[in-house]
């Protein structure tokens, strides 16, 4: 063992670290996640030569660049996603929600859709494809597709837009042929890969945003639809309630939230009204802006 090799975290150290991560990211790590957390923290402590947790936490807290905190956060997130995941919600968007939202809006008006927790980009790109393919009024409005994540590494991959077979499995073949170009060269060693076409890459505005940081979400206002799917499962109840309140502030009156299939707003917040459409249930901010 080298001098700087980290020891396993004591229960108190584990609680301190998880409390810190909970405050900074909303991510809640219970004792059941100890193996996952321990291994990642030990790897980072070793990489920076921190002999004990106190030294490492000082780096996380006080490093001016925030670089180490970002590296640790990147390791602690679960970024699983794929094209057309929970497609019934995208169907709902193009079959019902968008028509309702633009009713009474003049041609050329802005529509803002935000994928919060977009991981490697499959979700916002799926939305872009669905709009182009299935919403006949797509050219009548100025559509802004915003996508964000707390993990800087997945955002780099989202901007690059290169995907493997697994990510593309749910996409019909004709859409793959239309919107993706096969990648050639050494990368094929890991199996074939495809790059999403430039026009679609340019259609999504990716940014690094931690949804629990009020300063970072301040720029998100007047949003018409927020997709925040399969992110709040990693939060505790308080974190979910806070996130719901943030969505409420970010949405325009009458705007909608789409959550993952295992996430229910009724258990998080009474600020929204559940709306049952033929394809899915979404949660709407009341038009008068209020809530119960
Ligand atoms: C499992 S992925 C879900 C991806 C996509 N929304 C989907 O449903 O397929 C969860 C994403 O949430 C991101 N995330 C976790 N905590 C976050 C936070 N506080 N702010 C922003 N993104 C966060 C993670 O980095 C990860 O990429």
What is the tens place of the pLDDT at every residue in 37-90?
999 999 999 999 999 999 999 999 999 999 999 999 999 999 999 999 999 999
Mind giving me the DSSP string for 92-124? HIIIIIHHHHHTTPPTT-EEEEEEES-TTTHHH
Is 208's pLDDT higher than 90? yes
- What pLDDT is stored for residue 146 in this prediction? 98
What is the tens place of the pLDDT at every residue in 252-292?
999 999 999 999 888 888 999 999 999 999 999 999 865 44
What is the tens place of the pLDDT at every residue in 220-258?
999 999 999 999 999 999 999 999 999 999 999 999 999
Substitution candidate for ligand 1 out of 115, 206, 215, 231 with most atoms within 8 A of CB: 231
Residues having CB within 6 Å of any atom of ligand 1: 25-27, 77-81, 85, 117-119, 123, 149-151, 154, 210-212, 229-231, 234, 260
What is the tens place of the pLDDT at every residue in 118-156?
999 999 999 999 999 999 999 999 999 999 999 999 999
Instruction: Show the tokens assigned to 1.
Output: 């063992």
Write the CB contacts of 37 (distance below 8 Å, at least 6 apart in sequence).
Answer: 9, 14, 17, 18, 29, 76
d(CA 282, CA 165): 30
Task: Give the position, in ligand 1's atom list, of the atom nearest the Cα of 27.
Answer: 16
d(CA 220, CA 243): 13
Q: How far is CA 74 from CA 24, 45, 77, 208, 249, in A?
A: 13, 15, 6, 12, 27
Lowest mean pLDDT among 6-10, 112-116, 148-152, 202-206: 6-10
Task: Give the position, in ligand 1's atom list, of the atom nearest the Cα of 210.
Answer: 20
Mind giving me the DSSP string for 206-253? EEE--TT-HHHHTT--SEEEEEE-SSGGGB-HHHHHHHHHHHHHHEEE
Q: Whose CA is nearest to atom 12 of ligand 1?
A: 117
Other CB atoms within 10 A of residue 155 CB:
22
- What pLDDT is stored for residue 3 in this prediction? 52
Is 163's pLDDT higher than 60? yes
Residue 43 C-alpha to ligand 1 middle, in angstroms? Answer: 22
Q: Whose CA is nearest to atom 14 of ligand 1?
A: 117
pLDDT band at 187 (very low <50, low <70, confident <90, very high): low
Q: Whose CA is nearest to atom 3 of ligand 1?
A: 230
Substitution candidate for ligand 1 out of 88, 126, 150, 262 with most atoms within 8 A of CB: 150
Residue 228 C-alpha to ligand 1 middle, in angstroms? Answer: 8
d(CA 120, CA 258): 18
Q: Whose CA is nearest to atom 7 of ligand 1?
A: 81
pLDDT > 70 in the chain, percent? 95
Residue 214 C-alpha to ligand 1 middle, in angstroms? Answer: 17
């Amino acid at each position: 063992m080298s001098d700087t090799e980290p020891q396993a975290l004591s229960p108190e150290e584990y609680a301190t670290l998880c409390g810190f991560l909970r405050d900074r990211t909303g991510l809640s790590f219970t004792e059941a996640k100890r193996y996952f957390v321990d291994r990642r923290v030990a790897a980072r402590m070793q990489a920076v030569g921190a002999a004990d947790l106190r030294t490492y936490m000082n780096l996380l807290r006080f490093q001016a660049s925030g670089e180490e905190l970002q590296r640790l956060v990147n390791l602690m997130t679960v970024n699983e996603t794929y094209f057309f995941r929970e497609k019934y919600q995208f169907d709902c968007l193009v079959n019902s929600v968008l028509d309702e939202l633009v009713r009474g809006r003049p041609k050329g008006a802005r529509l803002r859709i935000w994928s919060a927790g977009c991981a490697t980009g499959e979700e916002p790109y799926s939305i872009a494809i669905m709009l182009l393919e299935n919403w006949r009024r797509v050219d009548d409005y100025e559509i802004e597709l915003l996508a964000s994540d707390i993990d800087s590494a997945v955002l780099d991959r989202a901007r690059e837009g290169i995907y493997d077979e697994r990510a593309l499995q749910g996409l019909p073949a004709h859409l793959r042929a239309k919107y993706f170009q096969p990648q050639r060269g050494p990368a094929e060693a890991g199996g074939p890969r495809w790059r999403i076409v430039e026009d679609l890459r340019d259609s999504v505005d990716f940014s690094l945003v931690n949804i629990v940081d009020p300063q970072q979400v301040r720029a998100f206002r007047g949003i018409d639809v927020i997709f925040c799917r399969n992110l709040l499962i990693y939060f505790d109840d308080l974190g979910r309630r806070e996130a719901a309140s943030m969505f409420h502030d970010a949405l325009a009156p009458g705007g909608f939230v789409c959550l993952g299939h295992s996430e229910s707003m009724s258990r998080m917040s009474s600020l929204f009204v559940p709306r049952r459409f033929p394809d899915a249930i979404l949660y709407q901010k009341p038009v008068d802006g209020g809530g119960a």
